[in-house]
Structure 1
Amino acid sequence: MEQVKEKKKLGLTTWIFIALLIGALVGVILHYLVPDGSIKSFLVNGVFYIIGNGFLRAMQMLVVPLVFCSLVCGSMSMGDTKRLGKVGVKTLGFYLFTTSLAITVALTVGNIINPGVGLDVSSLQSAGTTVPETKSFADVLLDIVPKNPINSLSDGNMLQIIVFSLVVGVILAKISDEAPTVSNFFNEGNKIMMEMTMLVMKLAPIGVFCLIAKTFSGIGFSAFLPLIKYMLGVFIALGIQCFGVYLLLLKGFTALNPIKFIKKFFPVMGFAFSTATSNATIPMSIDTLKNKMGVSKKISSFTIPLGATINMDGTAIMQGVAVVFVAQAFGVNLTPADYLTVIATATLASIGTAGVPSVGLITLSMVFASVNLPVEGIGLIMGIDRILDMTRTAVNITGDAVCTTIVASQDKAIDIDVFNAD
C-alpha cells in the first residue's frame, strides 16, 4: 500500500528566517554594490523604511491592549490570590536575580577583553544623546502607581499599566461570580487581541525583510571595525547568559532538557532578533510555551508580559560592557564600589525599560551618570547598536521564557509529555 506524502507547507517562523537572511543579503548588496543615488534612496529610505516601520507600528499598536487584557486575564485565572502572590514574588525575584547575574557577567567579560584599551577616542564619530531627567529612588517607586490609569494606557507607561491590570485581575478573581460581564469582557478582549496579533504576524516576513535590509544597507564593515572588541565583548556575554546561565538554571530548577528547550524556542528568538522588540514577541512566546513546552497559559499570560517590561538581561549586559568600554576609552578608573553601583543601577534601570528598539541607549545614560562616566561615550556605540539591540532582545525574551518554565514547573503547571514530545 503506497503512502501518499503530503507536501509540507513552510510555517510562519520559517518564512521569517528566510526573510531575515534574504533581507541581510539585499542590504549588504545595496551597501557595497549599489551606488548612492535616487534608486538606492527610494528603496532604503522609501520602501524599506515605510514598510518596516509600518510593521513595527502595527506591532506597537497591539502592545498596550494586549498586555492589559493578558495580565488581567492571567491574574484573574489564577483565582487564588495567595497563589498569584506566590507566583508574582517568585517571578519578580527570579527576574531581578538573572538581571544582576547578567550585569556581573558583562562586567567580568568586559574586564577580560578590555575593549576600550588603546582606543583613540578622537578618531570615532560622536553623536548627541538625550539624558533623561534624574529622579530620586522614592520618586521612581511612587511613579509605579498610576494617578490616572487612562493616562497610563494612553501614554503606554508599562509599569503603571501592569500595576493597574494586576489590581483589576486580583479583584475580578475574588468577585468573579458577582461581575461575570466584566470578566467575560476581558476574556473576550484577550481573544480579540490574540487574533489581531496573529493577523499582523502574517505580515511579519515582509516587515522583517524590510527592517533587516534597511539595517544592513547602512552598516558597512568599516563602520564598526574600530568597535569590534566592544561588539565581541557584548556577544560573548550574551552567549554566556543565554546558553550558560539560563540553561543551567533551567536544568537545576526543573531537570528539563535545556537543549530541547532552546530548539523549540529558537524560532521566537529569531523573530525577536529581527524585530528588536520584546513586546512584539509576547503572543508568539505564550503560544510556543503552551503548544511546544506544555506550560500553562495561566502562568505564561502573567509572566511573559511582565518580563517584557521588567526583565531586560540583554540590555543590562550591553550596559555592563559599555561601561567598561567607555571607562577605558576615556581613561576613567572604576573602583569595586563603582562596579557595585553599576550592577545596582543597571538592574533597577532594566525594570523601567520599555520593550521597544534601542531604548537601552537612553537608560544607559542613567548608568553612566551613576559612576560619572562621560555621556558623550554613548555616541561611540550608537552606529552599531542596531545589531547588538537585535541580539540582546533575543536574550531578553529567552530569559522571560526560562523564568516562566521554571515557575510553571514549581507550580506543577507544565505538561512534561508536551515538553518532551518531538
Structure 2
Amino acid sequence: MSSLNRMYEMFALHSNSAREVNEPSIALSAGVNWMDSNKFIINLLKEELDSGLTHKSYGRSSGFKFITDIISHLESDICGKAFKPSVIMTNGTANASFLICSFLKKNNRFKRGDNSLMINHGFPFYSGLSESFGLKYSECLLPKASLIKNQRYLTPISQVVDKIREIKPRLIYLILPNNPFGEQYSKEDLSTLQECVLKEDSFLIVDRVCMMPWDDFSKNSNVFFSGIERGNVFVVDSFSKAESVSGLRVGFLLTNKINEEGFTDLIRIKYLNPRSFGTITLAISRVLSYLNYSIEDTEGAKYTRMKNLVNKIVEIDYPILNKQALVPLFEHENIKLYLEETEKRKQTVMSNYDYLLNKFKKESLIPISLEAGLSSAVILDQMKADSELNDVNKLASQFNVGVLSESCFRSTPNNDENYFIRIGLSIPTQMFTKGIDILYRFYKNK
C-alpha cells in the first residue's frame, strides 16, 4: 500500500472510531484546517464579495494581476532583491506541483524512468506525483540510529548532496519546514543544497505550505532567488491553508519570466483560468503577516507601515478594480483584529507545544522541535516498528485518538526498530491535552 493510501486509510479509521462512540475523534495529528479561521479574514472575505472586488478578477490564465503583483513585490521586498519572481495562481500547492511536473515534462526537462528524490520524510503526495509522471521515487533518509545519534530528524545536508550526486535526480522535493518534524535547514544548508541543484542541473520544488503567518519565512526564502531566476527552483505556497480556510484552495507558485508563459499555456488549455478563488483578502493578509512578524515595531508603527503599503498597492492602475471599496477594509480596527486573531492562533499552537514538551521531553529519543510550522514528532522506545499499525488501530478503536504514524510519511519499508508519530498542534488546547495524556498512558503501559 502506498504511503498516501495509508494516510487516507488512517483518516477512515479515525472517522469510523468516532462514529462508534458518537463523539469527535481526538485528532492528534491534525493539520491547520482544525484551527478556527481568522475572524478578520472571514469578515474581509464577506466584504470583498459584497463590494464586488473579485467579481471581475477573470480572464488572465496566471491569475488576477493585482494579486500576483502584490505577491511578486512582497517576495522581492522580503528578500531584498531587485529580481521580481513571476507568480502563478494555483488550486493549492498540490496543483502547483502538478503544474510544475507537467511543464517540465512538456519541455523535455525529464523523461520516464528518471530519478526523483524527496529530502527526508515528507507528505506522501509527492511519491504519487512522481510515479504518475513515470519518475522513479526515492527518499534521502538515515537509519534511526543515526538520527538518534545526531539528535535531529533531518538528514545532514552533506549527505543530501552526496545522494544527489549519486543518483542524479531530475526532480527534487524539499518541504520547508519539514512535515512532520517541524524542523528546517539553516540558510547556509539551503544555499549548499541550491548550489548542488544548479551544478547538477536538477529541478527543485520547495514546498512552503506548512509555514504559518507568524513564521518569518524571510530567513530562508532569499536563498532560492538565484535558483528561481535560473529556472531550476520553484517555490509553492498557499494563502488559504496558512489562514485556516483550506477549502478555498488558493495557492501559488514562484518561477521566472521565461517559464511563466509555459505555465500560462498549460492553464489556458485545460482550465482557461486558474482553478482558484482570486481573493485580494488572502493576498493582502500575507502582506500583513510579513509586516507584523518580520519587523520589530510598536503596534502604532506597524499599523502605519501596513496602511502605507496598502495605499501604495491601491495606487497601482488596475482599471477593473473597484479601488474605493478596498481602502475602508484596512482601517485601524480591521488590521488590529487581524493581529489579535493571528496572535491568538499562534498561542494555541505554542501552548500545545509546551504541553507536549512537558509530557514527552524526557522520553522522546530525538528532541521534540518546532522551528516553524505547526507539527512536531515524538519517537519513544515503546514505539516498535513491528507493532506500528496495531498501536495506531488500538489508539483509534479503544481510545478514540487518531494519529498519523511513520508509514504515512515514507514510501519505503521501515526496517528500523522504532517508528514516530506526527503531533499536530492545531486542535483546541483542552482536546489536545486530553489526547496527549491518553497517548502518554498508552505507551507508558506497553
TM-score surpassing 0.5?
no
Name the structure where helix makes up a greater proportion of residues. Answer: 1
TM-score (norm 1): 0.27
- Greater relative contact order, per chain length (Cα 8 Å cut-off, separation 6+): 1
